[in-house]
Amino acid sequence: MATFKNLAISDAAQFIAEKKPVILDCRDVKDYRAGHLENAMHLHEKLRDSLIQKGEKEQPFLIYCYHGHASEHVAEMFSDFGFKEVYSLNEGYTGWQAHHKL
């Protein structure tokens, strides 16, 4: 059975550059609009359902939230639906900001 992996903040930029994953932000829309990773999509219910039904299961996915906890649950759900390469960003957007000093 497939499962998600955790991705360290220090490895994230290289991972994004090399793998070109679908990037999903599962924070609330207000915080997404205030700032998010480049090319990230806000994961709302319609997008989630569409990806589960029609998403490319072989495409890498990187999912993040505020601190890296809620994104683990979302990543696990995508893995359970058969997505092969799903990652949750350790430390979430807060960690990304601190690491990249945004």
Q: What is the mean pLDDT of residues 81-97?
A: 96
Distance CA 40, CA 45 (A): 15
Using a 10 angstrom Cβ sphere, with 0-12 exposed, 13-18 middle and 19 or more buried, the burial of residue 56 is exposed
Q: What is the tens place of the pLDDT at every residue in 38-65? A: 999 999 999 999 999 999 999 999 999 9
Q: Work out the widest C-alpha separation in the chain, in whole angstroms.
A: 37
Q: List beta partners, residue 64.
A: 25
Rg (CA), the chain: 12
Indicate the pTM of the whole model: 0.95
- CATH number for the domain whose boundaries are 5-100: 3.40.250.10
How would you classify residue 69: left for phi > 0, otherwise alpha for psi between -120 and 50, otherwise beta?
alpha
Tell me whether residue 26 is one of the annotated catalytic residues.
no
Q: What is the tens place of the pLDDT at every residue in 10-28? A: 999 999 999 999 999 999 9
Single out the catalytic residue among 24, 37, 40, 65: 65
